[in-house]
């Protein structure tokens, strides 16, 4: 299967209005409330990358990945069904809500709803405008999820969905790519479903620093200080966002050459920084996969 990129996320949060203010004032990310009450956050030329709806408790509603076109979506559906996975065809209403042409969905081994789609609305005539002075927003980099069924998840993503394993740590944190970007999704061994964070990609190190200063002075919880990851080389910080999960706000990051890259274990999480004042790190549990 030829998944092209991480397309979008759907997330439920207790207070969408609070998220809207937070996105506007702190993250510099524009959002629009639709008639359906959903807040859609814009990060690049796509109509949206993150859709937030109101619910009693926070949850990840779905993770959406792109395939190339309608034929690729048919092929992907066949491959999933051949692998014994029940595929549900999305309704026109769901496709309209995601601003895609067509989508299918299935549950991964952890119970996350994964959507495959094509043709999400590009709005090149309406360039994304940050809501505060920033050099630029560059999109949704990746998402990191807790995986109670880690080994089955990696098998599914690599063998069926066609992701490549980029690297891993302690056999409990796996980084997977579907294009040149070091990872579009990572899975950590956890005992329950968990949206750990998603990555907002900004244009420059100053954008990261400005937002760090602003978030800090506004009293928002910084969950990891400024730092640089040892594997994907992104410079970033993490902050707690309304709803309880985290956003990694950063820039840069490694592109991987499929022709030469070999998956490997990495033993150091960060080249520098990323100190976690609250001690809140991704759980590293004993090995659960080969
Ligand atoms: Fe990350």
Determine what percent of the chain is predicted with pLDDT higher than 90: 93
Please state which of the ranges 46-50, 140-144, 277-281 shows the lowest mean pLDDT: 277-281
Gap from CA of 229 to ligand 1 centroid (Å): 9
pLDDT score recorded for residue 280: 47
- Contacts by residues 262-266 (CB-CB < 8 Å, ≥ 24 positions apart): 263/164, 263/165, 263/166, 263/167, 263/168, 264/167, 264/168, 265/167, 265/168, 265/169, 265/170, 265/171, 266/167, 266/168, 266/169, 266/230, 266/231
The mean pLDDT of 178-192, rounded to a whole number, is: 97
pLDDT value at 287 more than 60: no
Gap from CA of 181 to ligand 1 centroid (Å): 12
* pLDDT interval class at 286 (50, 70, 90): very low
The mean pLDDT of 47-75, rounded to a whole number, is: 97
Q: Mean pLDDT for the chain?
A: 94
Give buried/exposed letters for 211-227 (b at 16+ CB in 10 A, else e): bbeebeeeeeebbbebb
Gap from CA of 49 to ligand 1 centroid (Å): 16
Pick from 160, 200, 196, 191: nearest CA to 178: 160
Structural domain 5-118, CATH architecture? Roll (3.10)
* pLDDT interval class at 279 (50, 70, 90): low
pLDDT score recorded for residue 169: 94
The backbone torsions φ and ψ at residue 244, rounded to the nearest 5 degrees and listed phi first, read 100, -15
Structural domain 137-273, CATH architecture? Roll (3.10)
pLDDT value at 283 more than 70: no
Determine what percent of the chain is predicted with pLDDT higher than 70: 96
pLDDT score recorded for residue 284: 38
pLDDT score recorded for residue 277: 82
The backbone torsions φ and ψ at residue 168, rounded to the nearest 5 degrees and listed phi first, read -155, 160
Gap from CA of 184 to ligand 1 centroid (Å): 9
Structure tokens at 196: 């750990």
Q: Are 93 and 99 in contact (CB under 8 A)?
A: no
The backbone torsions φ and ψ at residue 53, rounded to the nearest 5 degrees and listed phi first, read -120, 160
Helix (H) or strand (E) holding 207: helix 205-217
> pLDDT tens, 82-101?
999 999 999 999 999 999 99
> Which residues of the chain form CATH 3.10.180.10?
5-118, 137-273
In angstroms, the CA 119 to CA 78 distance is: 19
Gap from CA of 232 to ligand 1 centroid (Å): 9
Gap from CA of 129 to ligand 1 centroid (Å): 24
> pLDDT tens, 131-174?
999 999 999 999 999 999 999 999 999 999 999 999 999 989 99
Q: Are 44 and 137 in contact (CB under 8 A)?
A: yes
Helix (H) or strand (E) holding 236: strand 235-240
Gap from CA of 106 to ligand 1 centroid (Å): 24
How do the residues of the chain divide into helix, strand and coil, expressed in percent and rounded to 5? 20, 35, 45
């Amino acid at each position: 299967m030829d998944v092209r990129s991480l397309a979008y996320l759907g997330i439920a949060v207790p207070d969408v209005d609070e998220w809207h203010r937070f996105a506007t004032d702190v993250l510099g990310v524009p959002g629009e409330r639709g008639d359906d009450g959903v807040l859609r956050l814009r990060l690049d030329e796509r109509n949206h990358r993150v859709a937030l709806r109101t619910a009693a408790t926070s949850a990840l509603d779905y993770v959406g990945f792109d395939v190339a076109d309608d034929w690729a979506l048919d092929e992907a559906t066949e491959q999933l069904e051949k692998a014994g996975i029940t595929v549900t065809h999305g309704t026109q209403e769901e496709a309209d809500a995601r601003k895609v042409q067509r989508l299918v969905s299935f549950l991964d081994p952890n119970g996350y709803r994964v959507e495959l789609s094509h043709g999400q609305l590009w709005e090149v005539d309406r360039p994304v405008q940050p809501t505060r002075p920033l050099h630029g927003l560059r999109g949704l980099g990746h998402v990191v999820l807790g995986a109670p069924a880690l080994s089955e998840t990696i098998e599914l993503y690599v063998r069926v969905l066609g992701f490549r394993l980029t690297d891993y740590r302690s056999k409990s944190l796996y980084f997977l790519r579907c294009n040149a970007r070091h990872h579009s999704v990572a899975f950590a061994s956890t005992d329950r479903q968990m949206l750990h964070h998603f990555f907002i990609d900004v244009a420059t190190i100053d954008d990261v620093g400005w937002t760090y200063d602003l978030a800090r002075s506004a009293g928002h919880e910084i969950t990891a200080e400024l730092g640089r990851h040892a594997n994907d080389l992104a410079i970033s910080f993490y902050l707690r966002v309304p709803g309880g999960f985290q956003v990694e706000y950063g820039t840069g990051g490694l592109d991987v050459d499929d022709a030469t890259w070999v998956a490997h274990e990495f033993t150091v999480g960060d080249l520098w920084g990323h100190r976690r004042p609250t001690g809140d790190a991704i759980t590293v549990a004993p090995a659960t996969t080969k």
